[in-house]
Chains A and B, each alone.
Chain A
Amino acid sequence: MALLELEGVTRIFRLDGLELRALGPVNLEVEEGELLAIMGPSGSGKSTLMNIMGCLDRPTAGRYRLAGKEMGRRTPAELARIRNRHLGFVFQSFQLLPRTTALENVELPLLYRGGISSRERVARARAALERVGLGDRLKHHPKQLSGGQQQRVAIARALVGEPRIVFADEPTGALDSRTSVEIMGLFQALGRSGITVVLVTHELDVAAYAKRVVVVRDGRISSDTRQTPRVASAEVA
């Protein structure tokens, strides 16, 4: 059984009585531990696909199972709890809380999980930041960090809850090429440790690091290929 299973997933947006099919129908299976890149030009529906897989959005039609459980008809609160327990997110614009230290940003998912003592939260957040090589930046605010460092904080935040899947939406879009390589190295390291990574990008250079590339065009999957990934020389893991 695949970790993620999409069957005829469709997303239709209604705007002023107009129906806009952003996605679908899409069939896709993602195995545990895969490093998958979703590619496509802007407006192709790749972000919509990621949002549905990431339980940030619900499909209009079709079935979506995460670890064998149907996600399609859950309430926003149930989806929030699933995101909190099983999923991690990395965004193009980092999406860190401003005027909040790196440590507190990383603690955030644990805060909403509940039942974790403040001491344990700090310990786990610290460990996650060390894992991404930011053990010496715990008390820094996002503004005091470089773009690459901010994205590492975001990755630490995605990892702190020990998710099964990490979704990354254009994670290198705001970074220079050298930093991008470092960040991709981090994602590859996650894949090696058994975490499934779903990467959304429109850059071939970035997709090159993935084992599998799915191309979305006009809301449908136009190709699904496996490849030998490029290896980023990252010293972090």
Chain B
Amino acid sequence: MSFLETLRVALRALLRNKLRSALTVLGIVIGVASVIAMTAMGEGARMQVEKTFASMGTNLLVILPGATTSGGARSGFGSAPTIGWSDVEAIRVNVPSVRWVAPQLRTVAQLVSEEQNWSTQLTGTNPEFFEIRAWAVESGRLFDEGEVDASARVAVIGRTSAEKLFGPGVDPVGRRIRIQNVPFEVIGLLESKGQSFGGQDNDDAAFIPHTTYQARIDGGAQTHVAGAVLVGTASAEDTGRAQRQIASLLRERHRIRDGQEDDFSIRNLTEMASAMQDTTRTFTLLLASIAAVSLVVGGIGIMNIMLVSVTERTREIGIRMAVGATPAAILAQFLVEAIVLSVAGGLAGLAVGAAASVKIAGSYGWSSVVGLDVVLVAIGFSAAVGVGFGIVPARKASRLDPIEALRFE
């Protein structure tokens, strides 16, 4: 019997018991749908993490000062300015894998335009900061080294700050603002970067040269960096080496002996990013394997129903054998029935799973990803479930003795 004929016979047999077939399929639908939804959401979460880390900057190390002990009270990182400006220069000169070094002096400051005022994150830094964070202007320009040296009163602002100060759609370049009563000229509008990892708005920010920041905001030049230092390396592979080299350089410069605690810390964001991605991947795998259990349960449902079906149709099998159906033809018929059930469930589950993952991911603000590979795996896997759980009933049917089967009541 040809495959198409076998398929036709199988479909007829299944449609004869519509409710039973539908309920059996439901088990597979739930299994496949949950596997699809879990992997799609996991993939969406992973891409979200990737995107967030990419917005923080690539190949990034953050050096935080602090961790001092005074009178027995140990303070945390950032509690004391322990990194000198000379340290920043030393890192730039002595560590070859370092490409960019940028101080990051931060405070929350009130910005005042002619029309409005807005409290935002103010950062004093140098032009390399924008290289590290891969952040370009949408209009105007960034400040340059000359303006840093001259402590120029120029500012580059983010999209949100610009909209709050000047209204939506207004190009702020050339406009004047006051920061803590000091007049500044807005020379650049940064392109939008969206949310940061902590959920903060990256665009709600303003940037000025760190020299200007020290002089005008912090009240005079200091010998130490009153904030963090960002370091960008040429490639992701360099971050680990750069981290070790900077650590030993700073320990040497700060005269920290072996066994003594560092008065700084270095965070490797590239490593953090890959650790986060590993975590989400593990979670995806975990969720998918839990979902796969329901697929197995669905497969057992198919096996159960097919066993019932073989018993119920013993006489039919006997008739078919008497008129010349070979054991292989009977095997094929019941196996195809099981596969039709499981693949129908797989396709329906694919649709349900994809819809569910889009909906769930949408409510979290993630992008949901149902890849072609997932689709193929879902169909292949459900067909495999059909074969795996259908083979036992099908063999049982094919091994029936025609005489016994014809006598079956």
Question: A interface vs B, CB < 8 Å?
Answer: 51, 56-57, 76-77, 80-81, 83-85, 89, 91, 95-97, 99, 108-109, 111-114, 157, 161
A95 and B322 within 8 A (CB):
yes
Residue of B2, B16, B324 with highest tally of chain A CB at under 10 A: B324
Residues from chain A with Cβ under 8 Å of B325 in the complex: 80, 84, 112
Smallest distance from the beta carbon of B272 to chain A beta carbons, Å? 64
A114 and B322 within 8 A (CB):
no
**B304-327 contacts to A (CB < 8 Å):** 315-316, 318-327
Can you name 17 A-B pairs with beta carbons within 8 Å?
A57-B403, A77-B326, A80-B326, A80-B327, A81-B326, A83-B323, A83-B324, A95-B315, A95-B318, A95-B406, A96-B319, A112-B1, A112-B323, A112-B324, A113-B324, A114-B1, A157-B323
Interface string of B369-409 (1 = CB under 8 A from A): 00000000000000000000000000000000011001000
A112 and B402 within 8 A (CB):
no
A77 and B327 within 8 A (CB):
yes
Other A-B pairs beyond A84-B323, A85-B324, 4, CB < 8 Å: A80-B321, A95-B406, A111-B1, A112-B323
- Quick one: given A57-B403, A112-B329, are A89 and B322 in contact (CB under 8 Å)? yes
B320 and A112 within 8 A (CB):
yes
Residues from chain A with Cβ under 8 Å of B328 in the complex: 77
How many chain-B residues does the 8 Å CB contact rule pick out? 21
Choose one: A56, A77, A108, A114; the contact of B320 (CB below 8 Å).
A108
- In the bound assembly, the distance between CA atoms of A76 and B329 in angstroms comes to 12
- In the bound assembly, the distance between CA atoms of A109 and B318 in angstroms comes to 13
- Quick one: given A56-B402, A95-B315, A97-B319, are A76 and B326 in contact (CB under 8 Å)? yes
- In the bound assembly, the distance between CA atoms of A89 and B315 in angstroms comes to 15
- Quick one: given A95-B318, A111-B5, A114-B1, are A80 and B324 in contact (CB under 8 Å)? yes
**B187-213 contacts to A (CB < 8 Å):** none
- Quick one: given A112-B1, A112-B329, are A89 and B403 in contact (CB under 8 Å)? no
- In the bound assembly, the distance between CA atoms of A111 and B402 in angstroms comes to 18
Question: B interface vs A, CB < 8 Å?
Answer: 1-2, 5, 16, 315-316, 318-329, 402-403, 406
Residues from chain B with Cβ under 8 Å of A99 in the complex: 16
B319 and A76 within 8 A (CB):
no
A81 and B406 within 8 A (CB):
no
Smallest distance from the beta carbon of B157 to chain A beta carbons, Å? 76
Residues from chain A with Cβ under 8 Å of B319 in the complex: 95-97, 108
A91 and B324 within 8 A (CB):
no
- In the bound assembly, the distance between CA atoms of A83 and B326 in angstroms comes to 10
Residues from chain A with Cβ under 8 Å of B315 in the complex: 95
Smallest distance from the beta carbon of B327 to chain A beta carbons, Å? 5
Residues from chain B with Cβ under 8 Å of A109 in the complex: 323-324
- In the bound assembly, the distance between CA atoms of A83 and B403 in angstroms comes to 13
Residues from chain B with Cβ under 8 Å of A96 in the complex: 319
List the B residue with the shortest CB-CB distance to A54. B322
Residues from chain A with Cβ under 8 Å of B16 in the complex: 99
Smallest distance from the beta carbon of B328 to chain A beta carbons, Å? 6
Smallest distance from the beta carbon of B407 to chain A beta carbons, Å? 9
Choose one: A84, A91, A108, A114; the contact of B406 (CB below 8 Å).
A91
Smallest distance from the beta carbon of B96 to chain A beta carbons, Å? 76
- In the bound assembly, the distance between CA atoms of A88 and B165 in angstroms comes to 95
Smallest distance from the beta carbon of A150 to chain B beta carbons, Å? 13
- Quick one: given A99-B16, A112-B320, are A51 and B326 in contact (CB under 8 Å)? no
- In the bound assembly, the distance between CA atoms of A99 and B329 in angstroms comes to 21
- In the bound assembly, the distance between CA atoms of A112 and B2 in angstroms comes to 9
Residue of B5, B16, B323 with highest tally of chain A CB at under 10 A: B323
- In the bound assembly, the distance between CA atoms of A83 and B318 in angstroms comes to 13
Residues from chain B with Cβ under 8 Å of A95 in the complex: 315, 318-319, 322, 406
Residue of B320, B322, B326 with highest tally of chain A CB at under 10 A: B322
A56 and B403 within 8 A (CB):
yes
- In the bound assembly, the distance between CA atoms of A56 and B406 in angstroms comes to 11
List the A residue with the shortest CB-CB distance to B402. A56
Smallest distance from the beta carbon of A116 to chain B beta carbons, Å? 10
- In the bound assembly, the distance between CA atoms of A117 and B394 in angstroms comes to 27
B324 and A76 within 8 A (CB):
no
Smallest distance from the beta carbon of B319 to chain A beta carbons, Å? 5
B324 and A81 within 8 A (CB):
yes
Smallest distance from the beta carbon of A105 to chain B beta carbons, Å? 9
B1 and A83 within 8 A (CB):
no
Residues from chain A with Cβ under 8 Å of B403 in the complex: 51, 56-57
List the B residue with the shortest CB-CB distance to A115. B2
Residues from chain B with Cβ under 8 Å of A91 in the complex: 406
Residues from chain B with Cβ under 8 Å of A157 in the complex: 323
Residues from chain A with Cβ under 8 Å of B1 in the complex: 111-112, 114
Smallest distance from the beta carbon of A107 to chain B beta carbons, Å? 10
Smallest distance from the beta carbon of B163 to chain A beta carbons, Å? 71
- In the bound assembly, the distance between CA atoms of A76 and B320 in angstroms comes to 13
- In the bound assembly, the distance between CA atoms of A84 and B315 in angstroms comes to 18
List the A residue with the shortest CB-CB distance to B319. A95
B326 and A112 within 8 A (CB):
yes
Residues from chain A with Cβ under 8 Å of B327 in the complex: 76-77, 80
Residues from chain B with Cβ under 8 Å of A76 in the complex: 326-327
- Quick one: given A111-B1, A114-B1, A114-B2, are A56 and B322 in contact (CB under 8 Å)? yes
- In the bound assembly, the distance between CA atoms of A51 and B406 in angstroms comes to 12
- In the bound assembly, the distance between CA atoms of A77 and B322 in angstroms comes to 11
